[in-house]
Amino acid sequence: MVNFKRIMVGVLTAATTAALFSGCALNLGSGGSKGELTVISGSENRELEPLLTEFTAQTGIAVRMEYKGSVDIMNELKAGAAGYDAVWPANAIWAAMGDDGRLIKHEKSIMASPVVFGIKKSVAQNLGFIGRDVSVNDILAKTESGELNFAMTSATQSNSGACAYFGFLSAMLGKNTPVTSDDLKRPELQDSVKRLLSGVNRSSGSSEWLKELVVNAGSFDGLDAMVNYESLIIAANQELTALGKEPLYVIYPYDGMSYADSPLCYIDRGDEKKEEMFLQLQEFLLSDKTQKKLNDLGRRTGVVLTVDNPNLSVWNEDWGVKPDKTLSFITLPSKDVIIEALNLYQTALRKPSATVYCLDFSGSMSGDGNSQMLSALSIIFDQQAAATHMLQNSASDYTAVIAFSDVIIDVKEVYGNNQDDMRELYNWVRAISPEGGTDIYSPAVLGVEMLGELDNSYMKAVVLLTDGESNIGMSDVEFERIIRSSETATPVFSIMFGEASDNQLGKISTLTRSRTFDGRKDIISAFKQVRGYN
């Protein structure tokens, strides 16, 4: 049995929010004279960069952070984590499941945060959730009645989503022991969790991005609640109140609450100097002074995870935050059951996704551009390859491709996850020859319209890939008019490639409450990321 009794994830300042999604490495204090540590980390640790800079100033040891998602961190460890000296995931489960080579040592949790519900205070009041203990089954009842929908990260891509999901499983089973493989096969359990997950109205591959989505949402978006880390609910409320918006109220589901740890682990390659530098970093982060700074950032520390002398502007009880409450958490199952449960989530229990891929086949995509796009699509459309990254379709999913240049070239649809159908879709894409100019707006509008014809049982998204600037056909003004008049909440995610206009794609992302992924350095990674958002 794997005992993951530690915790956490982080918050970002507004100044670093844009940088969060680049996936690039950051060298902090690169002038360190005593050496450098290269750390593969969850992106939630970006807010801790000032602390790491302080460490470098004190010790002369530079810290080079490279940010990746939880599944990517797990897979990197499986492959040997070449080039990395340490790993700092959001949760110990990803390190444990990836450390096939038994490279990890000196594993210690740095900070903690439970995974909770944050619900607009007026909505929580109407639901009767304020002033009493609330269970996961209470939340299910309000979801099924149509009184509550919530945003949540993908359980197979983001640690907060995984923690929430295991909490749901445990609550629906109604037992205090870890979930087993036999439990996962129970039809009544699958049905209950599936009904709860049907209440998800937006998904995300990043806990931080989900927080920003809720903070910036308008009344039309219907984002009244989210499942996320307590620390990110606190950060969201700080931003919401500064904007004059209604804060979220924290709900701690007593029968199925999990939490995330932030274990900093050394990757042992027999280098005594690196090991000593790592231990200095770990000691700095666990010092009383640094731990107090983490408390003031909304993190829990210590054995019992209560906060002594909390800063009440951070740990604000008007927001339902309970810094002195002793919380009860579930115990996570064994590694094999975790993998089985996550695959069950991806293929059967999550809300079905409906995704329209708008693919640029203008003349500029000829050669390497087209080859790289096809390589990326092979990972998404090939269900065996997709399963390696926990991105496979479910039997209820809908996938469509709109091929475009300066005109709509053709459209093809697939329902479900039949491997032959998905292979046929991929071969159809391969047969298209790039030529012509670029009109990115017409296919995006068509994708939104196609998804509008489907019912609301789907999680809907358009994915637009282009390597150029729209120079013919529909204008950006007309696109904005159509999107606003359609009153759609369908996000149009963009993958930037080649000489794509970040200005045009950025405006699309802002308008449709989505985000732009940079595929110029690694288009395969960009496609994997965007798939995790739906």
Instruction: Answer yes or no: is pLDDT of 18 > 50.
Output: no
Instruction: Answer yes or no: is pLDDT of 271 > 90.
Output: yes
DSSP-derived 3-state class of residue 134: coil
Beta bridge partners of residue 410, listed in sequence order: 403
93-135 per-position pLDDT tens digit: 999 999 999 999 999 999 999 999 999 999 999 999 999 999 9
Residue 220: the pLDDT is 65
Percent of the chain scored above 70 by pLDDT?
A: 94
Residue 325: the pLDDT is 85
The stretch 146-155 carries a mean pLDDT of 94
CA distance 159 to 385: 21
19-32 per-position pLDDT tens digit: 333 344 555 554 55
Alpha-carbon torsion (11, 346, 514, 243), positive or negative? negative
* Average pLDDT score, the chain: 89
Radius of gyration for the chain, computed over Cα atoms and rounded to the nearest angstrom: 23
DSSP-derived 3-state class of residue 98: helix
Which of 409, 390, 411, 410 has its CA nearest to residue 399? 411
Name residues whose C-beta falls within 8 Å of residue 208's C-beta, 6 or more positions apart in sequence. Answer: 10, 11, 12, 17, 20, 43, 44, 232
280-328 per-position pLDDT tens digit: 999 999 999 999 999 999 999 987 788 888 999 999 999 999 998 888 8
Helices (H), 286-352: 288-295, 335-344
229-239 per-position pLDDT tens digit: 999 999 999 99
87-97 per-position pLDDT tens digit: 999 999 999 99
The stretch 33-58 carries a mean pLDDT of 90
CA distance 252 to 213: 22
In the block, tokens 């350095």 appear at 521
Please give the distance of CA 229 from its chain centroid, rounded to a whole number.
12
CA distance 264 to 87: 6
Give the strand pairing for 516-518 and 492-496.
parallel
Beta bridge partners of residue 114, listed in sequence order: 259
Residue 345: the pLDDT is 97
Residue 430 burial (CB < 10 Å; 0-12/13-18/19+)?
Answer: exposed
133-150 per-position pLDDT tens digit: 999 999 999 999 999 999
Q: Which fold has domain 14-113+260-305?
A: D-Maltodextrin-Binding Protein; domain 2 (3.40.190)
Alpha-carbon torsion (139, 143, 148, 153), positive or negative? positive
Residue pair 236/214 in contact (Cβ under 8 Å)? The answer is: yes
Domain boundaries, the chain: 14-113+260-305, 114-258+329-342, 352-531
Q: 14-113+260-305 and 114-258+329-342 share one CATH topology?
A: yes
385-433 per-position pLDDT tens digit: 899 888 999 999 999 999 999 999 999 999 999 999 999 999 999 999 9
Which of 330, 329, 331, 333 has its CA nearest to residue 182? 333
Which of 138, 96, 94, 104 has its CA nearest to residue 119? 138
Alpha-carbon torsion (265, 230, 43, 301), positive or negative? negative
Tokens of 403: 């091929």
Name residues whose C-beta falls within 8 Å of residue 489's C-beta, 6 or more positions apart in sequence. Answer: 220, 221, 222, 513
- Tell me how many degrees the CA angle 117-122-123 measures, rounded to the nearest 5: 50
Residue 169 burial (CB < 10 Å; 0-12/13-18/19+)?
Answer: buried
pTM of the model: 0.89
CA distance 146 to 363: 48
Superfamily designation of domain 114-258+329-342: Periplasmic binding protein-like II (3.40.190.10)
Please check whether the domain covering 352-531 is classified as CATH 3.40.50.410: yes
DSSP-derived 3-state class of residue 116: strand
